Chains A and B, each alone.
Chain A
């Protein structure tokens, strides 16, 4: 079955550590996205990538980094520079290009990150 996998499901981090969240898709989608969800809030875009070896900052990129070395993989690193990293992180993918924004995004099951 095609879909998006994220690992781990739960992640605990000590302050000052960098951690990397995995996102893999086998939908053959070109575009991939990372969102952050805080309680009672909608999703906010961290980074997105439309093609391999290229990615763009979203609305809240500070303290995060990404790479896109393979079409199916888009890992997110939460660095120690991110002041409040405790949140639920969702990865998504879609067909690209999107002529008018009509393509729905497919989401993974998420990773819940807690800073101890």
Chain B
């Protein structure tokens, strides 16, 4: 079964704290891609990062960093020195190719609130 689990439904922290959003996935495929998207209050999903199953290097982009561990099927997302503008719902997604079509399997999302 292809599945993505984001066990943290809601997280609330004070501005400038570091926060980690967890993502655990299940797939039998050996080639796959993982994504993180941000959904601000306006509603549209904004692409943050893509990682393929063969690249386990961690990635840092400004205050954002991602830790991909194939051994534990996890792809966690850390925000360092959080800001109020980081408040949003964050989705982790697993991308599969089925009969030539790309399909995204989303986790339930984590609602992150950064308090001033």
Contacts and interface: CB of A to CB of B under 8 A. Distances in A.
Interface of A: 31, 40-45, 48, 50, 56, 58, 88, 90, 92, 94, 96-110, 112
Interface of B: 4, 6, 9, 31-33, 35, 37, 42-47, 50, 52, 91, 93, 95-97, 100-104, 106-109
A5 B103 CA distance: 21
26 contacts: A31-B102, A40-B108, A42-B6, A42-B106, A43-B91, A43-B106, A44-B106, A48-B101, A50-B101, A56-B101, A90-B44, A90-B45, A97-B100, A99-B97, A100-B31, A100-B33, A101-B31, A101-B96, A101-B102, A104-B35, A104-B50, A105-B47, A107-B44, A107-B45, A107-B46, A109-B42
A68 B93 CA distance: 26
A109 B43 contact: yes
Contacts of B107: 42
Interface of B (DSSP majority class): strand
B106 A94 contact: no
A102 B106 contact: no
